[in-house]
């Protein structure tokens, strides 16, 4: 396993633990389909949350949160739509981003982008 992939998995585990401490419950991890991937799918009360985890060692390009551009958002939306087509869910959904810096400090943006 590559170092970058290992760091990504560690960041996802840290983010999942961090979110779990804040009341979110895990549903799925690394959900993949042809159109994209969602790092974490969690439940926050009655809301299904699709979470993108971003790890950045440097803030040169705007940090972890700035790295979720329109193209990445589109791929997340496609993966979420695929998930919803194959799993029964009637409640609200949202997209969150958890950005981790080199020290593991989390920046959580709830409802980070809309689908409209």
Confidence (pTM):
0.89
Which of the pair, 65 or 55, is modelled with greater confidence?
55
> pLDDT of 80-92, one tens digit each?
999 999 998 999 9
Strand order in the sheet with 47-55: 25-33, 36-44, 47-55, 93-100, 106-109
61 pLDDT band, cuts 50/70/90, is: low
Fold classification of 3-109 (topology level): Trna Endonuclease; Chain: A, domain 1 (3.40.1350)
**Contact, 29 vs 40, CB < 8 A?**
yes
Beta strands 36-44 and 47-55 are: antiparallel
pLDDT at 98: 93
Q: Return d(Cα 2, Cα 88) in angstroms, integer.
A: 35
Provide mean pLDDT across the span 19-36: 95
Report pLDDT for 62: 62
Separation of alpha carbons 76 and 33, rounded Å: 10
Characterise 104 by phi-psi region: left (phi > 0), alpha (psi -120 to 50), beta (else): left
User: What's the chain's length in residues?
Assistant: 116
User: What is the predicted pLDDT for the residue at 92?
Assistant: 96
């Amino acid at each position: 396993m590559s170092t970058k992939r290992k760091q990504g998995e560690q960041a996802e585990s840290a983010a999942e633990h961090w979110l779990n401490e804040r009341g979110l419950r895990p549903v799925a991890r690394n959900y993949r389909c042809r159109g994209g991937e969602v790092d974490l799918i969690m439940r926050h009360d009655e809301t299904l949350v699709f979470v993108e985890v971003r790890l950045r060692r440097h803030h040169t390009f705007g940090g972890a949160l700035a790295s979720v551009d329109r193209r990445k958002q589109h791929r997340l939306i496609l993966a979420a739509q695929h998930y919803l087509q194959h799993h029964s869910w009637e409640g609200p959904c949202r997209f969150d981003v958890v950005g981790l810096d080199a020290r593991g400090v989390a920046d959580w943006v709830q409802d980070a982008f809309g689908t409209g």
